[in-house]
Structure 1
Amino acid sequence: MLRWIEQRISPFRRASIDRPPENLARFFWHYCRQIWGTLLAVVVIGLVAALIEVALFTFVGQIVDLARAADSPEAFFAEHGSTLLLMAAFAVLLRPLTFMAHIAIINQSLYPSFTGLVRWQSHRYMLRQSPSFFQDDFAGRIANRVMQTGAALRQAVVEVTDSLWFVTIYAISAMAVLFSADPWLMVPLFIWLAAYGYMLYSFVPKVKERSWIQSDARSTLAGRVVDSYANIMTVKLFARTEREDDYAAEALDDHTRKFRDQMRLLSVMEGILWTMNGVMIVTTVGLALWLWSQQLVTLGAIAVAAGLVIQINNMSGWTMSVVTNVFENIGQVQEGIQSISKPLRLVDTEDARPLKVTRGEIRYENATFHYGKEGGLIQDLSLTIQPGEKVGLVGRSGAGKSTLVNLLLRFHDLEGGRILVDGQDIAHVTQESLRHQIGMVTQDTSLLHRSVMDNIRYGRPDASDQEVFEAARRAHAHHFIPDLQDWKGRRGYDAHVGERGVKLSGGQRQRIAIARVLLKDAPILVLDEATSALDSEAEAAIQEQLYNLMQGKTVIAIAHRLSTIAMLDRLVVMDQGQIVEQGTHDELIRTGGIYAQLWSRQSGGFLFEGKVA
């Protein structure tokens, strides 16, 4: 039975990858509508459970009245045995079954599966954001928001449909029972409910606001801590441990102050509530006793009234906590919406089709891109790379070389002009198919915190183990991989490489990255300082394999070390986002321009020719 309940909600249901709404109510409905059947079951069972709880107190009142009216104690069970058995069955069978079903749906279905559903769909949407989206924020804060939003949204929904619904039905039923005994008995409870509602109305919005502020401060704190951990080598190299202490302490102090503000408000709320509860108990029980003294109600009515108001007193603190939690969770959801509901910066057009590469021609036509700033980084640039041509991009730092490659990969959308691959405008092909046709080795090689095998196979997931081994051999990585071992004792290709590949040297990371691209075997190849992390001997060994990899492919290579690209078919020299020179190595040397100057500095000695004091 539990397994059947657990399967009512699938965390991985294939919903469309739509942008979640920015409006809070619509954001909740975006996810709740997917599990409306389960939520309806919770509401119905909650209704039955609340009615059962109130019925138990009416049973107590009935038993008191029956006992008082009995001819003798000895005759009590004989006269009312069937009624007592019915009450016992109600308490022993119906009540446990109802609450067991209620708990099973909450614990087995909503808690794990609904939380997973929200996190999974949020993660899928976030994963389709552009690289610039993640560059503008802490990765730790983004991940924290995805994780906490799933739990907070689930908790808010459960507490509203379960706890608050239960309390509402309980309070209404209690008033009906008291009214049936004597209308005056419901007056103290009615006044208390009105005061209770006014207190919630007054305090809860403040709790919600302070919860949102505190949640944002917590995410900032988590982001700073993760930032320090992710850059631990930089912290150690510059001996800035105490500076990082201060950086985190500043956020921690801010979070603590905002947390105290929130808890101060809750303390005031609880103090007022305890006072209201005391007044309600005294007035209700006192009124019931007075009515009994006037022979207007029975002793059973006193027992029912006393029991109900004491139970409501016990529930009021819990209800206040539930309401507070609801709005705290709403505050966390609102914070999560700031990241999760942002529009995708790069989207496929409605008519986007898969890119088909048959020749490998790349053509930039009047390409313009400014990173959203005034002034031109890439301004009206035109460049054609013939099928199978090997082109090197050369220029000083900031000349626009990497930007030109990022535009080809469509990490940014052009502000003017277009880029064509085999005559197909990349703005009208799917991003996945575009990047599938391009293999790239970057200067800042980043590996996934997975096994070496998984990292290489990332280039082609359906590759066999032998194909992975062969790619590693061609990248001159196979000789060191068998010696790798991680902290769990996994060795060789099963060893995990650590976050961003931190367990490996720069050269080892670069070789695995090259093996990954070798395995991918895409028709267009981009090398962005592909051998920068290698020593001269390793570079010479891999350079041969890179040249072999280039055969039959269209290649764009960026390198500050000009000797690595001097033998390419054509060199394109860029400066301030413009193409200023083109030609072979020998042609550019003869012209005596920027390329010749850069070559002279690299091959003619030190860049600084003065004396060191």
Structure 2
Amino acid sequence: MFHFFETLVHPYPQEASGTPPRGLLAFLYHYSKAVLPLLAMMSLLTGLVSAAELVFFSYMGDLVDWLADAERDGFFAEHGWSLAGMALLVIFGLPLLVLGQSLLKHQSIFGNYPMIGRWLAHRHILGQSMLFFQDEFAGRVSQKVMQTALAVRETVMKLTDLFVYVLVYFTGAMFLVGRADPWLMLPLVVWLAGYVGIMIVFVPRLRRVSMAQANARAQMTGRIVDSYTNIQTIKLFADTLREQEYARDAMDMFMQTVHRQMRLVTVMTVCLTVLNSLLLASVAAIAVITWYFAAISLGVIAVAIALVMRIRFMSDWILWEVAGLFENIGTVQDGINTIARTPTVTDRPGAKELVVPRGEIRFEHLHFHYGKSRDDERQPRVIEDLSLAIQPGEKVGIIGRSGAGKSTLANLLLRFYDLEEGRILIDGQDVAGVTQESLRRQIGMVTQDTSLLHRSIRDNIRYGSPHASDGQVMDAARRAHADTFIETLSDPQGRRGLDAHVGERGVKLSGGQRQRIAIARVLLKNAPILVLDEATSALDSEVEAAIQEQLYALMEGKTVIAIAHRLSTIAMLDRLVVMDKGRIIEAGTHEELLRHDGLYAALWRRQSGGFLGEDIETDTQQKVPDEA
């Protein structure tokens, strides 16, 4: 039975959902469509449960009247069937209603509902461009995905479950007491007006204080985490006292919001208690007076007092639920600002799969400035009217100092960003017109800043080819000279070798070890186009020399773009292209560029320890070739 209700909703819908809408109601509907029928059924059952409780109160009033008026000898003969019906409703009716409502609420909706939101939001976030992740903290984005999904559930379920229950209950209570004597309705109406007034006065204030408290808590947590993250620096400079004061300032700001919140809570609680006490006293007074004049029976008094007591207990709960509703709405609205963004890089309608039979690459008149105005002379030139043709199977080295545009060129090839002008062709196919996934499947890349997934060594290498066997994984590891340290790895859970987990971003490995895993991953991928962006920068000379042999073998039959500061690693390539300020200023073989005696020759002469010098003065006014 539980399994049946748990599988009524699929928590991982596969159909494309698109960019979430930015309006609150539309956003809520976007993540609630799959569970709307179940929410409607749950609301119906909730209303029936609330009505059943009111029927019990009515029965209890009738029972008091029967007991007051009936003779013992004929009591069961006169009221037996009514008592039996009441017993059946109490013993079977209400539990069955609660069972149905609880199965829908807890088995079908409670867990699946937020998971649908997390799944759809995560899929959408994965489709965001690189610029999105450069502007956001990964932890903040993941927190928004998790919190917003829960807030959507809480907001919608409070509206469809809690308030349906309260609405049916309060309306029914008004009807029950008003049926006996309209005067008994007056205290309830006055109480309702006062209750709404308390919510209008206090709930917005509580919401503002709660938001301020959340910001203060985030700042306090951020300062503490910052201290732990940089604990080595703190100990090196022996400055723990200043760190304590730094954290205490944030704690004091947090405590101020706590004091403000608790003051509001105290005043609100007292006001609500006074209002509830007046309700109880007024209903009791009216009930006694009307009974004194024989206008109502004892049963009505019992029902009225019982309902008022129930409302008193519910009122505090409802008030906090309303406050929680506003907080959840605020969380959803905050999440909308992060989640409901349209990706800046998307596949065009009808985009086709990229096919690479040869591997020719052409950059034609590229302009790219990361969205900055290229007319502003204060802004650095990133890519400025760059053209370059790379023949199938050609190995081209890209050289230039930091900021010259080398890595940007590789990112544009992979279409991490869209061009402002120009186009990039692979075997005559514009990369802007093919699917992003098919484009990136055809390009293997090793970057300078290698990060690994917090998974096993096997999973990280197999990312290059998901269906590779363990033998193929180990072969790639051997070719990347990673097998020597893989065999010695272990993690706190006792996993060893290929099964050992590498920690967040591969923190348990050294820079050279991470880079060798990344190279093994690309070796396993075996894509027809290879991009090496400082692929061996983190390796010592001995390991680099060994891996270079494998990289040369890997390059066979592939089109290669190699970016490096260490000129000796790319001097033997087919052609070298020198970039400066987003332009190509020299191109040729190593020997040709040395004979040309331009920037490359100066860099080669002044290179210290095999790395590119940063103090070279260049003539940026040299003629830029239209196409190298």
Which band: TM-score by shorter chain?
over 0.9
CA distance in 1, matches of 2:604, 2:268: 74
Within the alignment, does 1:385 sit opposite 2:390 as a pair?
yes
* Alpha-carbon spacing, 1:445–1:5, altered in 2? closer, same or farther (3 Å): same
Q: Report the equivalent of 1:61.
A: 61
Within the alignment, does 1:494 sit opposite 2:493 as a pair?
no
* TM-superposition CA deviations, 1:187-219 (whole Å, max 9, x none): 110111122123323433344444444445555
CA distance in 1, matches of 2:614, 2:133: 38
Greater mean deviation of Cα atoms: 47-56 or 343-352 = 343-352
Q: Report the equivalent of 2:522.
A: 517
Deviation at 1:602, TM superposition (A): 2.2
Aligned-partner residue type, residue 41 of structure 1: M
Q: Report the equivalent of 1:92.
A: 91
Q: Report the equivalent of 1:186.
A: 185
Deviation at 1:117, TM superposition (A): 1.0
Question: What pairs up with 1:19-58 in 2 under 5 angstroms?
Answer: 19-58=19-58
Whether the 8 Å contact between 1:395 and 1:401 is mirrored in structure 2 is: yes
SS at match of 2:487: helix
CA distance in 1, matches of 2:455, 2:528: 27
Within the alignment, does 1:436 sit opposite 2:441 as a pair?
yes
Question: What pairs up with 1:199-348 in 2 under 5 angstroms?
Answer: 199-216=198-215, 218=217, 254-348=253-347
Whether the 8 Å contact between 1:145 and 1:219 is mirrored in structure 2 is: no
Whether the 8 Å contact between 1:138 and 1:227 is mirrored in structure 2 is: no
Within the alignment, does 1:359 sit opposite 2:364 as a pair?
no
Aligned-partner residue type, residue 56 of structure 2: L
Greater mean deviation of Cα atoms: 424-433 or 543-552 = 424-433
CA distance in 2, matches of 1:112, 1:94: 27
Whether the 8 Å contact between 1:368 and 1:417 is mirrored in structure 2 is: yes
Within the alignment, does 1:470 sit opposite 2:475 as a pair?
yes
TM superposition score normalised by structure 2: 0.92
SS at match of 2:161: helix
Q: Report the equivalent of 1:561.
A: 566
Whether the 8 Å contact between 1:59 and 1:87 is mirrored in structure 2 is: yes
CA distance in 2, matches of 1:519, 1:47: 60
* Alpha-carbon spacing, 1:474–1:445, altered in 2? closer, same or farther (3 Å): same
CA distance in 2, matches of 1:296, 1:386: 102
* TM-superposition CA deviations, 1:226-255 (whole Å, max 9, x none): 677777778788888777767766665555
CA distance in 2, matches of 1:420, 1:224: 48
* Alpha-carbon spacing, 1:259–1:568, altered in 2? closer, same or farther (3 Å): farther
* Alpha-carbon spacing, 1:284–1:100, altered in 2? closer, same or farther (3 Å): same
Greater mean deviation of Cα atoms: 140-149 or 13-22 = 13-22
Question: What pairs up with 1:39-188 in 2 under 5 angstroms?
Answer: 39-71=39-71, 73-188=72-187
Q: Report the equivalent of 2:451.
A: 446
CA distance in 1, matches of 2:521, 2:151: 39
Whether the 8 Å contact between 2:567 and 2:610 is mirrored in structure 1 is: no
Within the alignment, does 1:570 sit opposite 2:579 as a pair?
no
Percentage of pairs with the same residue: 54
Deviation at 1:109, TM superposition (A): 2.0
CA distance in 2, matches of 1:104, 1:604: 70
Aligned-partner residue type, residue 20 of structure 1: P
Whether the 8 Å contact between 1:393 and 1:573 is mirrored in structure 2 is: yes
* Alpha-carbon spacing, 1:582–1:255, altered in 2? closer, same or farther (3 Å): farther
* TM-superposition CA deviations, 1:11-66 (whole Å, max 9, x none): 11223141111111111111122211110111110110010111111111101100
SS at match of 2:607: helix
Whether the 8 Å contact between 2:401 and 2:614 is mirrored in structure 1 is: no
Unpaired segments of 5 or more residues in structure 2? Answer: 374-378, 616-628
CA distance in 2, matches of 1:292, 1:487: 75
Aligned-partner residue type, residue 13 of structure 2: R
Whether the 8 Å contact between 1:221 and 1:255 is mirrored in structure 2 is: yes
* Alpha-carbon spacing, 1:441–1:300, altered in 2? closer, same or farther (3 Å): same
Deviation at 1:354, TM superposition (A): 1.4
CA distance in 2, matches of 1:142, 1:218: 17
Within the alignment, does 1:5 sit opposite 2:5 as a pair?
yes
Deviation at 1:318, TM superposition (A): 0.7
Within the alignment, does 1:373 sit opposite 2:378 as a pair?
no
CA distance in 2, matches of 1:163, 1:450: 42
Aligned-partner residue type, residue 148 of structure 1: Q
Unpaired segments of 5 or more residues in structure 1? Answer: none
Whether the 8 Å contact between 2:464 and 2:521 is mirrored in structure 1 is: yes
Aligned-partner residue type, residue 341 of structure 1: A
CA distance in 1, matches of 2:193, 2:85: 36
The size of the alignment, in residue pairs, is: 608
Q: Could you say what the CA RMSD is over the residues aligned between the two structures, in angstroms?
A: 2.4
